[in-house]
Structure 1
Amino acid sequence: MTKRTVTATYSVVLDETVELSLVDVCEACRIDAESVFEMVNEGIVDPEGSDPTNWKFNTLALRRLQTALHLQRDLGVNLPGAALALDLLEELEALRRRTT
């Protein structure tokens, strides 16, 4: 008999109008602020606010950050590659919505 390991993943659906601070995003993604700064500089997300202490992220930005982290951790994609992949995935999703 073959043993299988099952991993459960839990997620929370957030209202798209929710605004998250830099601290909130770091906690949600389990990363440090420097990693978020790098992703902002790469164009993965564009927070509202003039400086990091005032940055606000919406839930779509949180999802982009989490997806970029998965691309890095699971597939070894670097930040520029993750930014490109995210843009292409969003474009593909938009095209699918238009055709249905």
Structure 2
Amino acid sequence: MQTALNEIIGRILEDDALFSLEELCRSCFLPAEQLLEMVDEGIIEPIDYQQTTTSWQFAGNSLVRVRTVIRLQRDLGVNLAGAALAVELLDEIKALRSNVSRAG
């Protein structure tokens, strides 16, 4: 199990890492229905909506976003809409910090 986790973490570090819906389900230990709800909520986005859901591909940062949502729900009891807002705000903070560090 640890080897699989290391492989996933290594893939996330690659900018071009892609996950299928099935791989994302396995990596996050969630059924596809829950991930589809996250897509509907705008938490994660497939690269090409035009394909069937079984053919969807997700960027590596989708795994991080889903795991963050899982922790928010589990640890703080946040509903999916609240988790979506929190993830967006975390992304905004990250972008602002990046801008500040580049400017300074």
Please give the range of the TM-score, normalised by the shorter of the 2 chains. Answer: 0.7 to 0.9
How many equivalent pairs are there? Answer: 91
1:31-59 superposed Cα distances (whole Å, 9 cap, x missing partner): 00000011000110111232211100111
Counterparts of residues 16-95 of structure 1 (less than 5 Å): 16-49=15-48, 50=50, 51-95=52-96
- Identity among equivalent positions (%) equals 43
Q: What's the TM-score, normalizing by structure 2?
A: 0.81
Q: Which runs of 4+ in 1 moved over 6 A?
A: none
In the TM superposition, what is the alpha-carbon distance from 1:16 to its structure 2 partner? Answer: 2.3
* Unaligned stretches of 5+ residues in structure 1: 1-9
* Unaligned stretches of 5+ residues in structure 2: none
Q: What's the TM-score, normalizing by structure 1?
A: 0.84
Q: CA RMSD in A?
A: 1.3
**Bigger CA radius of gyration:** 1
